[in-house]
Amino acid sequence: MMRSSSNGGAMGGRAAGTGSGGKSLAPVDKEVDYANYFCTYSFLYHQKDMLSDRVRMDAYFNAVFENKHHFAGKTVFDVGTGSGILAIWSAQAGAKKFYAVEATTMADHARALVKANGLEHIVEVIQASVEDISLPEKVDVIISEWMGYFLLRESMYPSHARMWLAPIKSTLSDRKKNDLDGAMADWDNFSDEIKSYYGVDMGVLTKPFAQEQEKHYIQTAMWNDLNPLQVIGTPTIFKEMDCLTATVSEIEEVRSNVTSVINGHTTLCGFGGWFDVQFRGRKQDPAEQEIELTTAPSEHHCTH
């Protein structure tokens, strides 16, 4: 995947708490959070898109079924179960009990899917935010498909993972500049019409409009598939984290100074970011078969 960005290499998250700068971040209002984030996960078309991501699906499937000893006879908890696919796999791998928590009405579809696969005696779907529930027992395993765009987009909680950054070439930068020019030309026409028809001079707003549009078209990261041939410099690890030691403050805002050598004579168009996640288990209970999920540039395997 690609994250082309001109915002200085900073990536913010959704989590609330205290940042690395010591400033306390206000908690997000739940209704606002649902409207801006969770509501999209209540639609089957969105779940279909995620379930069609073979790179992620294969990684989780292999991580579960090639490490059944992590699930056999265990009580398992899923944060953000969505359609319930991880709950179903975990039950099929031998889980004794599975608590599947989903904040949206997708929970209804998850229950139906669990029942259709004959696993309702193992899997209990709970519609609620994870912060609002109290389970009747201690769980042995927590499983979740938590990674968002450039790893921390959804910021549910960390796992062992690495974030990469590399200089890239892309026609997207030219397209975005053309889009910006088009937006400003449209503003000029709009401003002229307002003054001509209604007698109001909009010129004082031209600069803030330009700043707003520049932020949207030029300074905002975007998702796109990235071919290895577009990488023009050495990739650098931007951030590495481990779920046993990482804290919320580490992922609220991630900043790093990186160095990359650009190969040959070419044009730098932006920076691409991707991540990989290792399913290793714990040191005391390691995976029998370590699985890696990577969103690195690829000619064949598109993912997000």
Of 185, 188, 186, the C-alpha closest to 201 is 188
**What average pLDDT does the chain have?**
76
The pLDDT value given to residue 261: 85
**Would you place residue 151 in the very low, low, confident or very high pLDDT band (cuts 50, 70, 90)?**
low
Write a three-state SS string for the chain.
Answer: CEEECCCCCCEECCCCCECCCCCECCCCCHHHHHHHCHHHHHCHHHHHHHHCCHHHHHHHHHHHHCCHHHCCCCEEEEECCCCCHHHHHHHHCCCCEEEEEECCCHHHHHHHHHHHCCCCCCEEEEECCHHHCCCCCCCCEEECCCCECCECCCCCCCCCEEEEEEEECCCHHHHHHHHHHHHHHHHHHHHHHHHHHHCCCCHHHHHHHHHHHHHHHCCCCEEECCCHHHECECCEEEEEECCCCCCHHHHHEECCCCCCCECCCCCCCEEEEEEEEEEEEECCEEEEEEEEEECCCCCCCCCC
The pLDDT value given to residue 19: 38
Those residues with Cβ within 8 angstroms of residue 270's Cβ, 6 or more apart along the chain or in another chain: 4, 5, 6, 167, 168, 170, 172, 173
Distance between CA 296 and CA 294 in Å, rounded?
Answer: 5
Distance between CA 124 and CA 104 in Å, rounded?
Answer: 15
Residue with the bigger pLDDT between 273 and 304: it is 273
Return the structure tokens found at 148.
């968002």
> In this model, does residue 97 exceed pLDDT 90?
yes
CB neighbourhood size of 225 (10 A): 15
Compute and round to an integer the Cα radius of gyration of the chain.
Answer: 23
Catalytic, out of 66, 131, 137, 154: 154
Of 72, 130, 129, 131, the C-alpha closest to 98 is 72
pTM for this model (two decimals): 0.56
Whether residue 214 lies in the annotated active site: no
Return the structure tokens found at 34.
């649902």
Give the position of tokens 């206000």.
26
Catalytic, out of 31, 124, 145, 288: 145
Residue with the bigger pLDDT between 48 and 62: it is 62
> In this model, does residue 240 exceed pLDDT 50?
yes
How far does CA 2 lie from the centroid of its chain?
Answer: 12
- Burial degree of 210 (CB within 10 A; 0-12, 13-18, 19+): middle
Whether residue 290 lies in the annotated active site: no
pLDDT in tens, 294-303: 777 777 766 6
Distance between CA 122 and CA 96 in Å, rounded?
Answer: 6
User: Which region among 58-62, 103-107, 233-237, 288-292 has the lowest average model confidence (pLDDT)?
Assistant: 288-292
